Structure 1
């Protein structure tokens, strides 16, 4: 059923799952964060998979590398939002650690993927 090249990419699949996890997590943030941190972390986490897919469609290799770079930047933004959420006591230390480690794993996968683009 995979009709688009990006659907086969493990980094895209992981980014999709990660985005859903972040979305669910943000539902527990206070209402006052709805248009601030909740919105920011969700947009940044969605941007990871969005840029991976955009870079994989009919793009030259330099373009694909550029879009993976955007995904990496978005992931860094999510990590900063996670730090903010932890400092504001919206997430537990355990939630933070798990998501931080998952972020690090996805980051390393994206860096390796970008290095392998010829």
Structure 2
């Protein structure tokens, strides 16, 4: 079975796990007819892993690094969405805290990975 380089990256695996959580929340939002919230959450959730995957295809570390910056930026977008959803009582405080913890872990590991690329 074919396997792409990005699939072995821990940061991609973390991003996919976060996306799964965000998709579950988006599914719940859709059931409540909050389609715009659901679409925004899905898009931002996919963006993290998509940027890692796309950037890993580059032959140039500098290009890959830029995509990793975009993935981290999407993590911040997801954090903002989680905070807003909690404020609107669309997710629980626990869900928000869990998501923020996972996003923080993702950002820290992505930063470390970027530093290793630049060596």
TM-score range normalised by the length of the shorter chain? over 0.9
Kindly state the Cα deviation for residue 2 of structure 1 after the two structures are TM-superposed.
Answer: 5.4
Matching of residues 44-59 of structure 1 within 5 Å: 44-59=44-59
Q: Is contact 2:58–2:64 with CA below 8 Å preserved after alignment? A: no
Cross-structure match for 1:116: 116
Moved runs in structure 1, 4+ residues, more than 2 A?
none
Count of aligned pairs: 116
TM-score normalised by L of structure 2: 0.92
Structure 2 CA distance for partners of 1:39 and 1:67, relative to 1, 3 Å: same
TM-score normalised by L of structure 1: 0.93
Q: Is contact 1:44–1:77 with CA below 8 Å preserved after alignment? A: yes
Q: What CA RMSD, in Å, does the superposition of the two structures yield over aligned residues?
A: 1.2
Structure 1 unmatched runs, 5+: none
2:14 corresponds to 1:14? yes
Tell me the distance in 1 between the aligned counterparts of 2:6 and 2:28: 31
